[in-house]
Structure 1
Amino acid sequence: MSSSAKPNDFYERVFEVVAQIPTGRVTSYGAIAQYLGVASGARMVGYAMNNYRSYNLGYELPAHRVLNRLGQLTGRAHFEGDTMRERLQQEEVEFVDEYQVNMEKHFWDPVELEG
């Protein structure tokens, strides 16, 4: 994909939501999909996140804040080394296991964008 390629509308909407995840908070692929009206679209959100670096967005997404529904860092393979975990720790996000975030404490629902 060339650097001049533009993301499709769904991807753009995913990127807009991810860009607004507050520091120290995390959300899930499914929560983003549900917010965008694609209730079973968690995988589609995952595809968008896997590909966002192939687009020249002009800004960096806080992709490290998007986890699976259990709070597991399933996207960490797309980060160099242990960068995903390290970034979350720098934001004082608590872990309940080596690669699992305390979702009760740190979960952010994109519905908060409406309030």
Structure 2
Amino acid sequence: MATQNKDGFFARVYETVEQIPEGFVATYGQIAKLVGEPRRARYVGFALHVNPRPGEIPCHRVVFADGRICEGFAFGGPEVQRTLLEDEGVVFRDDTHVDLAVSRWPAGL
């Protein structure tokens, strides 16, 4: 992905992630689909790993396709991601998986 395209892609990812309402999560693949690049879920992860505005862009609201939170959450580890999500009312089905049936943002589904 050329730098120009990467920057445009990252900007679209950030704009989309900012729209995820508190109390909901989206998957990396869902975000990729919403920005028009359905096969670029890993690139969504790359973009969120270098989030230029932590605290403003709620990257903690993005999880894996099976609802699993990120083991290497860039801003403090999986415990921090889980706490942030629980504080917003996101429902978990076990220690590491969000209940997507309850807490998934329906955009693009």
Partners of 1:17 and 1:102 in 2: how far apart? Answer: 21
Amino acid at match of 1:86: T
Shift of residue 75 of structure 1?
5.5
Aligned to 2:3: none
Partners of 1:80 and 1:34 in 2: how far apart? Answer: 27
Aligned to 1:70: 66
Amino acid at match of 1:85: R
Larger Rg over CA atoms: 1
Amino acid at match of 1:100: H
Larger strand proportion, structure 1 or 2?
1
Partners of 1:70 and 1:107 in 2: how far apart? Answer: 11
Shift of residue 58 of structure 1?
9.0
Q: Can you give the 5+ residue segments of structure 2 that lack an aligned partner in the other structure? A: 1-5
> Is 1:93 aligned with 2:86?
no
* 1:25 partner SS: coil
Conserved in 1, the CA contact under 8 Å of 2:24 and 2:90? yes
Alignment of 1:1-115 (within 5 A): 8-52=7-51, 55=52, 57=53, 60-74=56-70, 76-81=72-77, 82-111=79-108
Amino acid at match of 2:80: T
* 1:21 partner SS: coil
Conserved in 1, the CA contact under 8 Å of 2:24 and 2:61? yes
| Percent of aligned positions that are identical | 35
Shift of residue 110 of structure 1?
3.3
Please tell me the root mean square deviation across aligned C-alpha atoms, in Å.
Answer: 2.0
* 1:61 partner SS: coil
Shift of residue 109 of structure 1?
3.4
Say how many residue pairs are matched. Answer: 103
Q: Classify 1:83/1:58 alpha carbon distance in 2 versus 1 (closer, same or farther; 3 Å).
A: closer
Q: TM-score, normalising length from structure 1?
A: 0.80
Conserved in 2, the CA contact under 8 Å of 1:32 and 1:110? no
